Structure 1
C-alpha cells in the first residue's frame, strides 16, 4: 500500500509535467513566461510557503530538535564535497568544468524537484524536513559551490564578491524561512486573513514548479546529449554516492524516521 501511494503521487506529478511539456510544444509559453514562472516561485510562492509551513508546523520546543537534525544535511554535504574534490582530482576532470562537477556532485534541486517529490511520497508532514535540507543546501551552494564554479571560467575569477554570495544566500525563500523561524521563536502570529493569503500563495509553489520543469524538458534537446565520462561520474556522485554518505551518517544517530527518509531523498535528487 505504501509503494502504491508513492507511485500514485509520482504519477500525479508526471501528469502535470507532461501537460506543461505538451503545451510548451504547442507554443503556449513565450520567453517572457519562462522567465516569469521561476520568478513567481522564488519571490512569491515559495517564501509564502516556507513562512506558512514553519509557523504552522513547529512550536518553540520543536525548533531545538530541528536544529539538531539540520546539522546532518550540512555535514553530509561538506563530506560529499570533499569526496567530489578527491574524485575530480583522481580522475582528472577537465579544468573548464571542475567546479561545476564538484557542485553538481554535491548539491540538489531541493525546491523545484525536491518539494513536489517529497510531498507526493510522504505528504505534508515531510515539508518541515524538506525545508531543513533546503537551508543547508542553499547555504552551501551560494557560498562554497558558487565560488568554486566561478573559477571554471578565467574571466569570472574574482568577479563574485563575498557580499554577492551573502545576498544570494539571503534570497526571498531563505528570508521567508528565517522570518517563519523568528515568528515562531517570539510566539507571534499574523492576522488570520494574512495567514490565509500566504497559504493560498504558497500552494502555487508545486504546480508552478512542475510546469516550469515541463517547459525546461521541452527546451532541452536530448538528442544531442553526450554522456561524457565526467558527466557519468557526476551522475553517480549525485544519485548514488551523495545519498549513501548521508545514509551512513544517519545510521549512527537516532532521528525521526520521516526526517531520515526525506533527507536521503533530498540528497539523491538531481542537481
Structure 2
C-alpha cells in the first residue's frame, strides 16, 4: 500500500506541475488562475460534495455516526490553535504577526490540497469522512480564525460578523448539507441527474491541483523573506501540529481509517483563504502569503513522507 500511496502522490504532483507549466503561458496567466479558483469553489466543488456524500453514505445511520465525530475535529483544531498561541508567545513572534501565525498553524488547506490527497490515497468513498473535518474547519475559521485576524485592525474597520456568518454558507457548504439532507430524508436522486454530477465531480480534484500549480508559478519570489517567524511557522505546521495530532487521534474511539484521514488533513499546508482575509483585515499580508507559499511548496515533500511514516510504522494501528 505504501508503493500505491507514493504513486498516487506522484500523480497529484504531475497535475500540480501541469498547472505550474500552463500558468507561464500568455493565454493563462493570472486571469486563468483566478478563473480556476472561482470555478472550482463556486461551480465544481459544491457538486463534488453533494455527489460524493450522497454516493458514499449508505444509510441515515452512517450519516449520523459520522456527524457524532465532528466534535473530535473541533477539539483537534482548537488544540492546534492553542498550541500555536503558546508557541507564538514563547518564540516571540512579532506582535503584528502573532494572530496570523496562529491562524496559519491551526487551519490547513482542506479544499484545494486536502480533498485531492485523501481521494487519491483512499479512493472516492472517503469524501464523507473528509467532509466531517471540513465542517469543523470551516466553522472555526469563519468564527475563531476571522476574529483573530480582526483583532486590532489597523484601519479601524468594525467587525463584520454578518458577512462572516454568510461565508459559513458558501456554495461548497450548501452542496455538502444538501447531500446530507438527501441521505437523511432518503431522497432518491434520479440517474439523469447523478450522471452529470458524477462527471463534474470528477474534474474537481484535478482542477484544484492545477490551480495550486498556477499559484506556485505566480508567486512573487522577490517578496519572500525567510526570517525567524516563517521558520517557526513551518516547524509548527509540519512538526508540532502533526505530533499533537498523532497523540490526540490515538486516544479517540474511532476507526483507524478515520484517524488516518483526519491526520492527513491536519498536516496539509496553511489555508489559502488566510491570505485573502489577512489582506481584507489589513494584517501582515506579505507574512501570510509567504507562510502559505512556503508551506505549500514544502508540503509536496511532507505529504508523501507523512503517508509513508503513517503506513510503515502503523502509527494508528
Q: TM-score, normalised by structure 2?
A: 0.81
User: Once the 2 structures are TM-superposed, how far is the Cα of residue 223 of structure 1 from its aligned partner?
Assistant: 5.6
User: Once the 2 structures are TM-superposed, how far is the Cα of residue 68 of structure 1 from its aligned partner?
Assistant: 2.3
TM-superposition CA deviations, 1:124-160 (whole Å, max 9, x none): 23222221111111111111111211236411552x3
1:22-101 aligned within 5 A: 22-58=21-57, 59-101=59-101
1:189-228 aligned within 5 A: 189-222=188-221, 224-228=223-227
Query: In the alignment, which residue of structure 1 is the partner of 2:149?
Result: 149
Query: Is residue 126–residue 258 contact of structure 1 (8 Å, CA) maintained in 2?
Result: no
Q: Distance in 2 between matches of 1:263 and 1:51?
A: 20
Query: Is residue 77–residue 106 contact of structure 1 (8 Å, CA) maintained in 2?
Result: yes
Q: Distance in 2 between matches of 1:228 and 1:106?
A: 20
Query: In the alignment, which residue of structure 2 is the partner of 1:116?
Result: 116
Q: Distance in 2 between matches of 1:109 and 1:197?
A: 27
Q: TM-score, normalised by structure 1?
A: 0.94
1:174-193 aligned within 5 A: 174-193=173-192
| 1:5 maps onto 2:8 in alignment | no
TM-superposition CA deviations, 1:74-113 (whole Å, max 9, x none): 1110111111111112222212222210000100000101
User: Once the 2 structures are TM-superposed, how far is the Cα of residue 243 of structure 1 from its aligned partner?
Assistant: 2.5
| 1:260 maps onto 2:270 in alignment | no
User: Once the 2 structures are TM-superposed, how far is the Cα of residue 52 of structure 1 from its aligned partner?
Assistant: 0.8
Greater mean alpha carbon deviation, residues 172-181 or residues 230-239: 230-239
In structure 2, the gaps of 5 or more residues are 271-317
User: Once the 2 structures are TM-superposed, how far is the Cα of residue 247 of structure 1 from its aligned partner?
Assistant: 2.0
Q: Distance in 1 between matches of 2:37 and 2:12?
A: 17
Query: In the alignment, which residue of structure 2 is the partner of 1:137?
Result: 137
Greater mean alpha carbon deviation, residues 35-44 or residues 101-110: 35-44
SS at match of 2:187: coil
Q: Distance in 2 between matches of 1:65 and 1:154?
A: 44
Q: Distance in 1 between matches of 2:78 and 2:262?
A: 15
Query: Given the superposition, is the C-alpha separation of residues 262 and 208 from structure 1 closer, same or farther in structure 2, using an over 3 Å criterion?
Result: same
Query: Is residue 77–residue 107 contact of structure 1 (8 Å, CA) maintained in 2?
Result: yes
User: Once the 2 structures are TM-superposed, how far is the Cα of residue 224 of structure 1 from its aligned partner?
Assistant: 5.0
Q: Distance in 2 between matches of 1:164 and 1:42?
A: 18
In structure 1, the gaps of 5 or more residues are none
Q: Distance in 1 between matches of 2:15 and 2:160?
A: 39
User: Once the 2 structures are TM-superposed, how far is the Cα of residue 188 of structure 1 from its aligned partner?
Assistant: 0.8
Query: Is residue 18–residue 213 contact of structure 2 (8 Å, CA) maintained in 1?
Result: yes
Q: Distance in 1 between matches of 2:223 and 2:160?
A: 35
